[in-house]
Amino acid sequence: MIEARFSWPTRIYWEDTDAGGVVYHARYVAFMERARTEWMRAMGYGQEAMRSGDGQVFVVRAMTLDFLKPARLDDALETTVELLQCRRASLVICQAVLRDGQPLVTAQVRLAAVGARDFRPQAMDDTLYATLKQFETLHAQD
């Protein structure tokens, strides 16, 4: 079983930085996407399996970012995922990119469950919903 707060490691490479050697702001969104993907995979819900099996995907509906400190070339970071709210067709997730436990960027991400073909809102199946709902409960206990 994975913990209420999931963490995924990231290393900063040249391709992640701007001319000043600082991580380009859009790269943080990519780091967060990877962490959410690995969080779902750790629960047994890989993106391709969901898309081709149940015909469902999660899409970002809204995202609020707060840039606190810059990351730089060769930094070892961790990107965290915590489920704040789970509804039948949507999730609200809190994410952070950390260096040595200190937040560099924080975000709140609203995801919508949609059909893979028509991108219309679609309720999660009972098993996925129950799996995710337990993490909302774990976060509430922190």
The ranges of the chain with pLDDT < 50 are none
pLDDT value of residue 111: 97
pLDDT value of residue 76: 98
Residues of the domain holding 103: 5-141
Query: Is 16 part of the annotated catalytic residue set?
Result: no
Domain count for the chain, please give it: 1
Instruction: Report the alpha-carbon distance of residue 18 to residue 83 in Å, rounded.
Output: 31
pLDDT value of residue 84: 95
Contact between residue 77 and residue 104 where contact means Cβ atoms under 8 Å apart: yes
User: What CATH number did the domain enclosing 101 receive?
Assistant: 3.10.129.10
Q: What tens digit of pLDDT does each residue of 105-134 get?
A: 999 999 999 998 999 999 999 999 999 999
Among residues 16, 18, 54, 126, which one is catalytic?
A: 18
Strand, coil or helix: 12: coil
Instruction: Report the alpha-carbon distance of residue 96 to residue 90 in Å, rounded.
Output: 20
